[in-house]
Protein backbone atom coordinates (compact mmCIF):
# COMPACT_ATOMS: atom_id res chain seq x y z
CA UNK A 1 0.00 0.00 0.00
CA UNK A 2 1.29 3.46 -0.93
CA UNK A 3 2.10 5.83 1.97
CA UNK A 4 -0.64 8.21 0.85
CA UNK A 5 -3.05 5.28 0.93
CA UNK A 6 -2.10 4.59 4.56
CA UNK A 7 -3.01 8.15 5.52
CA UNK A 8 -6.27 8.06 3.54
CA UNK A 9 -7.24 4.70 5.05
CA UNK A 10 -6.45 5.96 8.57
CA UNK A 11 -8.56 9.09 8.06
CA UNK A 12 -11.54 7.13 6.71
CA UNK A 13 -11.36 4.52 9.45
CA UNK A 14 -10.85 7.09 12.20
CA UNK A 15 -13.73 9.22 10.94
CA UNK A 16 -16.11 6.30 11.24
CA UNK A 17 -14.83 5.04 14.60
CA UNK A 18 -14.55 8.48 16.24
CA UNK A 19 -18.03 9.38 14.99
CA UNK A 20 -19.44 6.19 16.49
CA UNK A 21 -17.60 6.26 19.85
CA UNK A 22 -15.86 9.59 20.31
CA UNK A 23 -12.22 10.38 20.90
CA UNK A 24 -11.95 8.51 24.20
CA UNK A 25 -14.04 5.52 23.11
CA UNK A 26 -11.50 4.28 20.56
CA UNK A 27 -8.02 3.01 21.34
CA UNK A 28 -5.01 3.59 19.15
CA UNK A 29 -4.74 -0.18 18.71
CA UNK A 30 -8.35 -0.39 17.47
CA UNK A 31 -7.65 2.38 14.98
CA UNK A 32 -4.55 0.71 13.59
CA UNK A 33 -6.18 -2.73 13.41
CA UNK A 34 -9.34 -1.43 11.71
CA UNK A 35 -7.27 0.54 9.20
CA UNK A 36 -4.89 -2.34 8.62
CA UNK A 37 -1.80 -0.29 9.43
CA UNK A 38 0.75 -0.32 12.20
CA UNK A 39 0.38 1.94 15.24
CA UNK A 40 3.56 3.70 14.18
CA UNK A 41 1.73 5.05 11.09
CA UNK A 42 -0.65 6.96 13.37
CA UNK A 43 2.31 8.54 15.12
CA UNK A 44 4.13 9.18 11.85
CA UNK A 45 1.24 10.94 10.09
CA UNK A 46 -0.68 12.44 12.99
CA UNK A 47 1.59 12.43 16.05
CA UNK A 48 -0.79 10.08 17.84
CA UNK A 49 -4.48 9.44 18.34
CA UNK A 50 -5.35 13.00 19.38
CA UNK A 51 -3.63 14.41 16.32
CA UNK A 52 -5.61 12.00 14.17
CA UNK A 53 -8.82 13.12 15.87
CA UNK A 54 -7.92 16.79 15.27
CA UNK A 55 -7.28 16.01 11.59
CA UNK A 56 -10.64 14.27 11.31
CA UNK A 57 -12.44 17.22 12.93
CA UNK A 58 -10.62 19.68 10.66
CA UNK A 59 -11.59 17.66 7.59
CA UNK A 60 -15.22 17.31 8.70
CA UNK A 61 -15.66 20.99 9.50
CA UNK A 62 -13.77 22.22 6.43
CA UNK A 63 -17.02 22.12 4.44
CA UNK A 64 -18.10 25.23 6.34
CA UNK A 65 -15.70 27.24 4.19
CA UNK A 66 -18.62 27.38 1.74
CA UNK A 67 -20.25 29.91 4.07
CA UNK A 68 -17.81 32.52 2.74
CA UNK A 69 -19.11 31.90 -0.78
CA UNK A 70 -22.68 32.37 0.42
CA UNK A 71 -21.72 35.57 2.23
CA UNK A 72 -19.97 37.03 -0.80
CA UNK A 73 -22.63 36.18 -3.38
CA UNK A 74 -23.98 39.18 -5.24
CA UNK A 75 -27.57 38.22 -4.46
CA UNK A 76 -30.34 39.36 -2.18
CA UNK A 77 -30.50 38.16 1.44
CA UNK A 78 -33.41 35.79 0.80
CA UNK A 79 -31.47 34.08 -2.00
CA UNK A 80 -28.50 33.72 0.37
CA UNK A 81 -30.75 32.08 2.94
CA UNK A 82 -32.06 29.65 0.32
CA UNK A 83 -28.49 28.87 -0.70
CA UNK A 84 -27.62 28.27 2.98
CA UNK A 85 -30.50 25.81 3.34
CA UNK A 86 -29.60 24.07 0.07
CA UNK A 87 -25.93 23.83 1.10
CA UNK A 88 -26.81 22.63 4.62
CA UNK A 89 -28.87 19.77 3.26
CA UNK A 90 -26.12 18.83 0.82
CA UNK A 91 -23.53 19.14 3.59
CA UNK A 92 -25.38 16.52 5.62
CA UNK A 93 -25.55 14.26 2.57
CA UNK A 94 -21.84 14.66 1.75
CA UNK A 95 -20.56 14.46 5.34
CA UNK A 96 -22.79 11.87 7.03
CA UNK A 97 -20.62 11.78 10.17
CA UNK A 98 -20.40 15.55 10.64
CA UNK A 99 -23.55 15.81 12.75
CA UNK A 100 -22.22 13.18 15.15
CA UNK A 101 -19.01 15.15 15.64
CA UNK A 102 -20.98 18.36 15.97
CA UNK A 103 -23.34 17.05 18.66
CA UNK A 104 -20.58 15.14 20.45
CA UNK A 105 -18.37 18.22 20.65
CA UNK A 106 -21.31 20.37 21.81
CA UNK A 107 -22.36 17.97 24.56
CA UNK A 108 -18.98 16.53 25.57
CA UNK A 109 -16.31 18.88 24.21
CA UNK A 110 -12.75 17.75 23.73
CA UNK A 111 -9.79 20.09 23.87
CA UNK A 112 -10.32 20.69 20.14
CA UNK A 113 -13.71 22.29 20.58
CA UNK A 114 -12.21 25.74 21.15
CA UNK A 115 -9.72 25.57 18.31
CA UNK A 116 -11.67 23.75 15.57
CA UNK A 117 -15.41 23.49 16.28
CA UNK A 118 -16.26 26.74 18.06
CA UNK A 119 -14.57 29.06 15.52
CA UNK A 120 -16.35 27.27 12.67
CA UNK A 121 -19.75 27.55 14.33
CA UNK A 122 -19.12 31.18 15.29
CA UNK A 123 -18.19 32.12 11.76
CA UNK A 124 -21.19 30.35 10.21
CA UNK A 125 -23.63 31.92 12.68
CA UNK A 126 -22.14 35.39 12.23
CA UNK A 127 -22.54 35.09 8.47
CA UNK A 128 -26.19 34.04 8.89
CA UNK A 129 -26.79 36.85 11.37
CA UNK A 130 -25.27 39.36 8.94
CA UNK A 131 -27.48 38.06 6.13
CA UNK A 132 -30.57 38.54 8.30
CA UNK A 133 -29.42 42.03 9.31
CA UNK A 134 -28.87 42.89 5.65
CA UNK A 135 -32.42 41.72 4.90
CA UNK A 136 -33.78 43.87 7.72
CA UNK A 137 -31.78 46.92 6.57
CA UNK A 138 -33.02 46.48 3.00
CA UNK A 139 -36.56 46.14 4.37
CA UNK A 140 -36.88 42.67 2.87
CA UNK A 141 -37.47 41.20 6.33
CA UNK A 142 -39.54 42.42 9.25
CA UNK A 143 -37.88 45.15 11.32
CA UNK A 144 -38.65 43.43 14.64
CA UNK A 145 -36.90 40.21 13.61
CA UNK A 146 -34.12 39.16 15.99
CA UNK A 147 -31.15 38.22 13.74
CA UNK A 148 -29.51 35.93 16.30
CA UNK A 149 -32.67 33.93 17.03
CA UNK A 150 -33.44 33.71 13.32
CA UNK A 151 -29.96 32.38 12.48
CA UNK A 152 -30.20 29.75 15.23
CA UNK A 153 -33.68 28.73 14.08
CA UNK A 154 -32.47 28.24 10.51
CA UNK A 155 -29.43 26.23 11.55
CA UNK A 156 -31.43 24.22 14.06
CA UNK A 157 -34.22 23.38 11.64
CA UNK A 158 -31.96 21.78 9.04
CA UNK A 159 -29.70 20.07 11.59
CA UNK A 160 -32.65 18.60 13.48
CA UNK A 161 -34.12 17.19 10.28
CA UNK A 162 -30.99 15.05 9.92
CA UNK A 163 -30.45 14.47 13.64
CA UNK A 164 -33.95 13.02 14.01
CA UNK A 165 -33.81 10.71 10.97
CA UNK A 166 -33.96 7.48 12.98
CA UNK A 167 -36.82 8.72 15.17
CA UNK A 168 -38.88 10.15 12.29
CA UNK A 169 -38.26 7.68 9.47
CA UNK A 170 -41.73 6.12 9.91
CA UNK A 171 -43.53 9.32 8.91
CA UNK A 172 -40.96 11.44 7.02
CA UNK A 173 -39.26 10.48 3.78
CA UNK A 174 -35.60 11.49 4.29
CA UNK A 175 -34.39 10.45 0.84
CA UNK A 176 -32.23 12.81 -1.22
CA UNK A 177 -34.89 12.82 -3.94
CA UNK A 178 -37.04 14.88 -1.60
CA UNK A 179 -34.40 17.58 -0.94
CA UNK A 180 -35.87 20.07 -3.44
CA UNK A 181 -39.28 19.81 -1.78
CA UNK A 182 -37.68 20.21 1.65
CA UNK A 183 -35.90 23.39 0.55
CA UNK A 184 -39.19 24.82 -0.75
CA UNK A 185 -40.96 23.94 2.53
CA UNK A 186 -38.26 25.56 4.65
CA UNK A 187 -38.28 28.68 2.49
CA UNK A 188 -42.08 28.85 2.82
CA UNK A 189 -41.82 28.57 6.60
CA UNK A 190 -39.29 31.40 6.70
CA UNK A 191 -40.95 33.66 4.17
CA UNK A 192 -44.64 33.04 4.91
CA UNK A 193 -44.62 31.70 8.45
CA UNK A 194 -47.31 29.33 9.59
The per-residue pLDDT for range 61-79, each reduced to its tens digit, is 999 999 999 999 999 999 9
- In the predicted structure, residue 46 carries a pLDDT above the cut 90: yes
- In the predicted structure, residue 1 carries a pLDDT above the cut 80: no
Q: What is the DSSP string of the chain?
A: --HHHHHHHHHHHHHHHHHHH-GGGS-HHHHHHHHTS-HHHHHHHHSSHHHHHHHHHHHHHGGGGHHHHHHH-SS-HHHHHHHHHHHHHHHHHH-TTHHHHHHHHHHS--TTIIIIIHHHHHHHHHHHHHHHHHHHHTTSS-TT--HHHHHHHHHHHHHHHHHTHHHHTTTS---GGGHHHHHHHHHHHHHH--
Tell me the per-residue pLDDT of 109-157, one tens digit each, with 9 for 90 and over: 999 999 999 999 999 999 999 999 999 999 999 999 999 999 999 999 9
pLDDT, the chain, mean: 94
Residue 58: how many CB atoms within 10 A of its CB? 14
Q: How far apart are CA 187 and CA 31, in angstroms?
A: 42
Q: How far apart are CA 85 and CA 128, in angstroms?
A: 11
pLDDT-based confidence at residue 6 (cuts at 50, 70, 90): confident
Q: Are 34 and 13 in contact (CB under 8 A)?
A: yes
Higher pLDDT, 44 or 2: 44
Report all structural domains of the chain as residue ranges with CATH numbers, in order of start.
3-57 (1.10.10.60), 60-192 (1.10.357.10)
Residues in the chain: 194
Tell me the per-residue pLDDT of 88-117, one tens digit each, with 9 for 90 and over: 999 999 999 999 999 999 999 999 999 999
Residue 32: how many CB atoms within 10 A of its CB? 19
Q: How far apart are CA 2 and CA 170, in angstroms?
A: 44
Residues near 44 by Cβ (< 8 Å), separated by ≥ 6? none
Amino acid sequence: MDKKDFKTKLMATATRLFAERGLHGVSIRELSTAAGVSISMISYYFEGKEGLYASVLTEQFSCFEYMDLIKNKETEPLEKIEEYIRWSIQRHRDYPYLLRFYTSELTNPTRYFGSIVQPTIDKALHILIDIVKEGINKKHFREELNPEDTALAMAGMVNYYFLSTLATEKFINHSPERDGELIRHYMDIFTKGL
